[in-house]
Amino acid sequence: MSPLVLLDYAAVLIFALTGALVASRAQLDIVGFAFMASITAVGGGTVRDVLLDRNPVFWIGNPTYIFIALGAAVFIYFTAHLVESRYRWLVWLDSFALAVAVPAGMAAAMMTLQPGPVLVMMGVTTGCLGGLLRDVVANQVPLVLKQGELYVTAALGGALAGLLAMQFTHLTTPVLLTCAIVTWALRAGSIIFGWKLPVYKSRPPRQ
């Protein structure tokens, strides 16, 4: 099994769990759980494959990904009430999903021999769009856009770290591992230590 397939499986599973957790917080029915889990799980990878002109899109070529997302939805539907703080679980699971999805996006672009800027953009796109879709559909402020938090920045930093690692090795595994570690370290640091970027503050107009 290729690294890309393994990363896609992991990203689909973890993102699906976060989508189902959002559904539980919104008190949706089982169909709502399945919908939220599915769009979160495959959203970023679908856009990635469309942009890279990969045919078929990964979950159409292998419907197992959808069954994994549905399984995650059912699991959370029956167990979410056991979790004391679903939002905290959501944030941490999402951080792991991000750290898996960013290298998955890079791996897909590497397989099609894309240049460095495209590798970075595919990593960021794959990592961020699933969670963005999830939160927008649930009518929540997206984690991607939380004020000053390192989310897109974490994805970008991880992808750039992977690109830098490519200058020292042609082996795929160290590159993707570097990408994953840096992505998660930046996101986890933002959650634990409150790492933030400075935000824009409006100023009074000149007289």
Residue the block writes with tokens 């059912």: 74
Question: Does the pLDDT of residue 64 top 80, yes or no?
Answer: yes
Region 153-179: mean pLDDT is 96
Q: What percent of the chain has pLDDT over 70?
A: 99
Region 6-12: mean pLDDT is 95
pLDDT digit string, tens, across residues 106-144:
999 999 999 999 999 999 999 999 999 999 999 988 888
Residue 202 lies in a domain: no
Question: Does the pLDDT of residue 207 top 70, yes or no?
Answer: no
Give exposure, 89-120, as e/b (b: 16+ Cβ within 10 Å). bbbebbbbbbbbbbbbbbbbbbeeebeeebbb
Question: Does the pLDDT of residue 204 top 80, yes or no?
Answer: no
Helix axes 152-165, 116-137, angle to 10 degrees: 160
Residue 65 lies in a domain: yes
CA dist., res. 25 & res. 71, Å (int): 18
Number of domains in the chain: 1
Residue 68 lies in a domain: yes
Region 161-171: mean pLDDT is 94
Helix axes 116-137, 30-51, angle to 10 degrees: 160
Residue 107 lies in a domain: yes
Those residues with Cβ within 8 angstroms of residue 123's Cβ, 6 or more apart along the chain or in another chain: 102, 103, 105, 106, 109, 155, 158, 159, 162, 179
The pLDDT assigned to 203 comes to 77
Question: Does the pLDDT of residue 206 top 80, yes or no?
Answer: no
Residue 79 lies in a domain: yes
148 or 89: which carries more pLDDT confidence? 89
Region 97-102: mean pLDDT is 97
Find the domain containing 139 and state its range: 3-193
**Alpha-carbon torsion angle 111, 113, 116, 122, nearest 10:** -40
The pLDDT assigned to 145 comes to 83
CA dist., res. 194 & res. 118, Å (int): 30
149 in helix, strand or coil? Answer: strand
Residue 35 lies in a domain: yes
Which residue type is seen at 119?
L
Residue 151 lies in a domain: yes
